[in-house]
Amino acid sequence: MDDVLVRLSNITKIYGKNKVLNQLNLEFRKKKAYLLVGENGSGKTTILKVILGLISYEGERTITCNQIGYVPDSLHFPYYLTCYDFLYNLGLIKNMSPEKIKKALEILSKEWEIYPHINKKIHECSKGTKQKLLIIQAMLANPDIYIFDEALNGLDQNMQLKLFDFIQAMKDAGKTIIITSHYFSLYKKVVDQVIYLKEGKAYDQFN
């Protein structure tokens, strides 16, 4: 049985005169965590947008899963909503039933220590709480693939360790995790493969 959940074949993406991705080929498999590294502008976030179907490109993308959980680098929150309403509405968008959303939020809000703030307006929350909201919404529907774009932003050390433990648990459960980060050393213990991006191409640093 094929354990590849994402396959990118001959992906090329050009912004103006800048060829960010140049006939890129990558595979992302079950039970593996991948770290994308490279200088600013090397194509890390562009690869994520290709996987998510957010941009046009040349080449072929094959995805064999039902759900992708995505933690963006940043988000313009609807600050008029409470934390609970924000997460609840995203659960509905992910086609979850109200009962499943409520149960998931009860567990995740306590696990990620935002329960005391769950009914606050988002604009009243700290940067760390907002980052936890992004992480929780990615977890809501129990996706097959998790994508983390600089997910450590705003998290204290305890929450960073919790995220690393979560990544390991999701690998053990058969999930695929794709990470972009400037903090290579922090992820060394949980990633299986580092992919170095340069001039639109991908190079393995280790497996």
C-beta contacts of 102-108 below 8 A and 24+ residues apart: 104/139, 104/140, 105/136, 105/140, 108/136, 108/139, 108/140
* pTM reported for the whole predicted model: 0.92
Pair of tokens at residue 33: 């965590």
Pair of tokens at residue 173: 């459960």
CA distance readout (Å), 78 to 86, 88, 122, 125, 130: 8, 13, 8, 12, 11
Residue 206, pLDDT > 60, answer no
Quick: pLDDT tens for 54-105.
999 999 999 998 899 999 988 889 888 999 999 999 999 999 999 999 999 9
